[in-house]
């Protein structure tokens, strides 16, 4: 713990801002005191004597685990890994059945390149207090280690024993699916995923679906791979979406003038595709595009769009518009968004997406029209829409719109403060 607190208590980088540190509990207070004492002794040139005193006390009473723990922390603080390892071994010898030290023994055992399987199982059985979940994680890690060392028989022996009593939850599901796929047990891996879906309160991570999808890709089974990627997007849909609420526009990096302009990146995260879902969608599209199989993605999402009803149509339609955009088919992307906007005119997220595409496509008049609608229907973000409207109007030389916006900004409660940071080239348009 002392090593983890070191940089919070004594930051060692130049120009860092010192902040008062307050311990959250008694253990932190003890560790913090050791950090401070270690630093003070170094400043006074008495550090060697300070450590030697603890060494002497530990030598007099080799069963005093408290002194040994402090000594181990001191060596870790001073980056003396060889000494800290020696003290750790003395701790284990002093109290071999203490749970914390049994864990240390296991970690030490797992670090050995020639790990003995029987010795590993013996140590695991000694840790009877450990939860089934933790026990399973140790076994999975050891199987993975054996496979990387080409110790196939040992890996299979552990794997066969693991199958008898699986613990499937948020922590173990991905590890188990990956392991079963590695052993070629695809049907069993899918059963684990199904069981996890039926018992967990949250959807499986994209990584679980990706492991299975990549196996099918490797086998040349493109349709099956696409199906698993699609399952992730179906399972991770947000449960509720408020069409009248939209995310705040991002801002560019702070400039010398003090003005940071609104960002209109497309595609950008929305309530339908948040950051993680959008990034994964693009990664999947790129993967299929590289092997010239991206049409399969279009087909699956189009089939979903054709059969979906109401607002469920938005999810596949947006995905297809993103595919078109990433493939540089800008007109196709714009067409899909325009149709969506007509179908769901009250949805501000769709309106904002159409705005971004219009800006990138050079359709500035359409963009200004959409900004006007957004300004009226989304007052929470009105100031940002004003800023973006001025930015576009200045770009196309629409001085009338610039004047109208400046007048509106100045008449608002925060108008004068907002205008102070306006770009300098606004003045030439007013």
CA angle 336, 339, 345 (to 5 degrees): 130
Return the structure tokens found at 164. 């008898």
Report the pLDDT value the prediction gives residue 8, as an integer from 0 to 100: 47
Q: Rounded to whole angstroms, how far apart are CA atoms 125 and 128?
A: 6
Residue range 275-426 in CATH 1.20.1050.40: no
Helix axis angle for 275-290 and 206-218, nearest 10°, is 10
Specify the residue for token string 């705005």.
Answer: 355
Cis upstream peptide for 402 (omega within 30°): no
The CA distance from 249 to 265, in Å, is 9
DSSP structure string for 178-193? HHHHHTT-HHHHHHHH
- pLDDT for 85 equals 76
Query: Which pLDDT does position 23 carry in this prediction?
Result: 60
pLDDT at 155 (0 to 100) = 93
Ranges for all domains in the chain classified under CATH 1.25.40.10:
275-426
Q: pLDDT digits over 28-59, tens only?
A: 676 777 788 888 888 888 888 888 988 888 88
* Regions of the chain where pLDDT drops below 70: 1-28, 30, 97, 99, 101-105, 112-113, 243-264, 412-430
Interatomic CA distance for residues 280 and 182, integer angstroms: 22
Other CB atoms within 10 Å distance of the CB of residue 365: 11
CA distances from residue 216 to 173, 219, 284 in whole angstroms, order as listed:
19, 5, 14
């Amino acid at each position: 713990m002392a090593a983890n607190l070191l940089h919070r208590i004594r930051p060692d980088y130049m120009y860092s801002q010192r902040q008062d540190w307050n311990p959250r509990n008694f253990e932190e207070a003890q560790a913090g005191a050791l950090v401070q004492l270690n630093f003070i002794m170094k400043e006074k040139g008495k550090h060697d004597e300070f450590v030697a005193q603890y060494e002497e006390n530990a030598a007099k009473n080799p069963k005093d685990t408290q002194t040994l723990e402090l000594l181990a922390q001191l060596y870790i603080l001073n980056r003396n890994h060889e000494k800290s390892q020696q003290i750790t071994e003395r701790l284990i010898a002093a109290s071999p059945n203490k749970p914390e030290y049994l864990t240390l023994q296991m970690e030490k055992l797992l670090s050995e390149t020639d790990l003995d399987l029987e010795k590993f199982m013996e140590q695991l059985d000694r840790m009877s207090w450990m939860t089934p979940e933790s026990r399973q994680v140790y076994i999975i890690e050891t199987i993975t280690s054996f496979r990387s060392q080409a110790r196939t028989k040992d890996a299979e022996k552990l794997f066969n024993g693991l199958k008898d009593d699986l613990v499937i939850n948020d922590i173990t599901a991905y590890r188990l699916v990956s392991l079963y796929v590695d052993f070629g047990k695809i049907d069993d891996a899918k059963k684990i995923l199904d069981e996890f879906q039926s018992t967990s309160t949250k959807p499986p991570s994209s990584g679980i679906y990706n492991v299975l999808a990549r196996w099918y890709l490797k086998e040349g089974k493109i349709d099956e791979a696409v199906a698993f990627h699609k399952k992730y997007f179906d399972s991770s849909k947000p449960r509720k979406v408020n069409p009248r609420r939209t995310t705040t526009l991002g801002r560019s990096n702070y400039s010398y003038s003090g003005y940071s302009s609104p960002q209109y990146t497309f595609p950008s995260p929305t309530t339908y595709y948040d950051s993680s879902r959008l990034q994964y969608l693009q990664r999947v599209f790129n993967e299929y595009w590289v092997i010239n199989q991206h049409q399969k993605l279009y087909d699956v999402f189009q089939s979903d769009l054709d059969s979906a009803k109401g607002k469920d149509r938005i999810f596949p339609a947006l995905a297809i518009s993103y595919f078109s955009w990433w493939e540089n088919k800008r007109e196709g992307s714009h067409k899909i968004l325009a149709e969506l906007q007509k179908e769901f005119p009250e949805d501000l997220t769709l309106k904002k997406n159409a705005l971004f595409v219009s800006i990138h496509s050079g359709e500035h008049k359409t963009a200004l029209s959409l900004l006007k609608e957004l300004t009226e229907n989304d007052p929470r973000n009105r100031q940002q829409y004003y800023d973006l409207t001025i930015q576009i109007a200045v770009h196309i030389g629409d001085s009338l719109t610039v004047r109208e916006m400046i007048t509106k900004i100045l008449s608002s409660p925060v108008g004068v403060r907002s205008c102070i940071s306006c770009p300098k080239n606004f003045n030439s348009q007013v």
